[in-house]
Amino acid sequence: MQTDQREALVAAVYESGRELSTAAVMFHTALSELRGLSATEGKAIDILMRFGPMTAGEFGEHSGLAPASVTGLMQRLESKGVARRVRHTDDRRKVLIELVGDQAAAAAPYFADFMDGLAALLEGYSDDQLRTIADYSTRSARIQQEAAGGWPRHRRPGRPGVTLAA
């Protein structure tokens, strides 16, 4: 393949990734608002649904959030009645964060059309193509998580010594 064609394909993948990212953020923001949650609270529920009850430290590892942010987030989820803190059954010194009620069922009606559309889209791909799509999605998500995890917590935009590229 020619270099120009390769560059165009790579650029198309980057652009489609930006479009997908924006669509995902907007979708989850709207979904969370319908449920009386912030987008961060909605994604916190998703993390707890996927990985089960966990300590605040473990939640921080999965989310990339600083400990103080995790504490505030868990307090908000508790006040909204969607999560609670419980003692670990094996180590009573540890506190776990767990979901209250069936959060998947509560969100399911909002996902029906979206999931039907994705299922129809995926029908058009071969098994090999689906493996490639799944591999790309998984690996690019990991790269993004690692990039966000590498940001110094004490140096955020607007603080001395921090600039953002245009």
Confirm whether 17 is domain-assigned. Answer: yes
Question: How many structural domains does the chain have?
Answer: 3
Q: Do 78 and 118 have their domain in common?
A: no
Residue 163 covered by a domain: no
Q: pTM score, two decimals?
A: 0.77
CA atoms of 79 and 14, how far apart (whole Å) = 39
Owning domain of residue 62: 37-101
Q: Which two tokens stand for residue 74?
A: 């868990």
43 in the same domain as 21: no
> Does residue 155 form part of some domain?
no
Query: CB within 8 A of 142, min separation 6: which ones?
Result: none
pLDDT tens digits, one per residue of 7-50 = 999 999 999 999 999 999 999 999 999 999 999 999 999 999 99
What does each of the 166 residues of the chain score in pLDDT, given as a tens digit? 588 999 999 999 999 999 999 999 999 999 999 999 999 999 999 999 999 999 999 999 888 888 889 999 999 999 999 999 998 888 878 899 999 999 989 889 989 999 999 999 999 999 999 999 999 999 998 898 888 777 765 555 554 444 444 4
Q: Identify whether 156 is part of a domain.
A: no
* Judgement on whether residues 22 and 53 belong to the same structural domain of the protein: no
The reply to whether 115 and 59 lie within a common domain is no
What is d(CA 103, CA 127) in angstroms, rounded to the nearest whole number? 31
